[in-house]
Amino acid sequence: MNIDKLSKRLETVASFIKPDMRIADIGSDHAYLPCYAVNQGLAKAAIAGEVVEGPYQSAYNQVKEAELSDRIAVRKGNGLAVVNQGEVDCIIIAGMGGALITDILENGKQKLVEVQRLILQPNVAAEKVRKWLLDNNWQLSDERLIEEDGKYYEILVADRDKNKIQYTNLKKELLLGPYLLNSKDEVFHRKWRSELNQWKIILNELDKAESNEKTAIKKRDLIEKISIVEEALS
Ligand SMILES: C[S@@+](CC[C@H](N)C(=O)[O-])C[C@H]1O[C@@H](n2cnc3c(N)ncnc32)[C@H](O)[C@@H]1O
């Protein structure tokens, strides 16, 4: 991967940037995504945000080496602290867990006031991100599920100015994704069959473990999710 050729995961993320948007890539690490987006003319300008010194330095060096320092600002800081209100149209947060992505959005809410689009790629717990979007008046406008190197990645796109999406079975749609459920392609079947297998192994272990309130709640949650996914795959 380099700034001319991204991974399939990051290329899919970049494909949702609307023309002429100013973007912020939070947790940018090597800054491949903002360099690619600006270089390819997908974004007008970018901020690469990083909280950890090592990745911040590699982002800084990458942008300098690519001679893009006049259009990409590399900033060190936690989450949306690196962005000023009104400075960007689109925020990208990729390659983190769903809980961390929602924490970053929740803690930086005031920075989102003038943002039009969020492109979010949670490695796990995408349902937490969908729930946060719903609770915070962001309309999910597209989703992709891709497989790369044996791993599955969900990419969620949300816009401010879209019509409200009508959920018919909230639990199921938050877990599996309303758009992904609509298409239910081969990758969808493979991902959820693999999740089902893992959940059944965990359930089996919980059955053998000493029962207490915590394990009972976990079992109930797993049984419910297994039933939702089995129904969706049938
Ligand atoms: C696994 S990497 C993903 C890098 C890149 N976004 C991608 O998708 O390939 C996650 C990066 O997010 C950074 N990070 C984690 N929490 C952060 C936060 N609260 N604010 C900014 N960056 C954060 C980490 O230091 C790390 O470099």
Q: How far apart are CA 120 and CA 104, in angstroms?
A: 11
Kindly indicate the confidence band of residue 210, based on its pLDDT and cuts at 50, 70 and 90.
confident
Closest atom of ligand 1 to CA, residue 81:
20
Q: How far apart are CA 27 and CA 49, in angstroms?
A: 6
Closest atom of ligand 1 to CA, residue 13:
8
Ligand 1 touching residue 124 (CB < 6 A): no
Query: Model confidence over 142-184: pLDDT tens digits?
Result: 999 999 999 999 999 999 977 788 899 999 999 999 999 999 9
pTM of the model: 0.96
Query: Model confidence over 33-84: pLDDT tens digits?
Result: 999 999 999 999 999 999 999 999 999 999 999 999 999 999 999 999 999 9
List, in sequence order, the alpha helices (H) in 144-212.
Answer: 170-176, 178-183, 186-208
Q: What are phi and psi of 27, to 5 degrees?
A: 80, 50
Q: Cα separations (Å) of 71 from 22, 33, 35, 224?
A: 10, 13, 9, 48
Ligand 1 touching residue 29 (CB < 6 A): yes
Encode 164-201: b = buried (16+ Cβ within 10 Å), e = exposed.
Answer: eeeeeeeebbbbbbbbbeeeeeebbeebbeeeeeebee
Closest atom of ligand 1 to CA, residue 25:
6
Q: How far apart are CA 69 and CA 175, in angstroms?
A: 40
| Contact (Cβ atoms closer than 8 angstroms) between residue 33 and residue 94 | yes
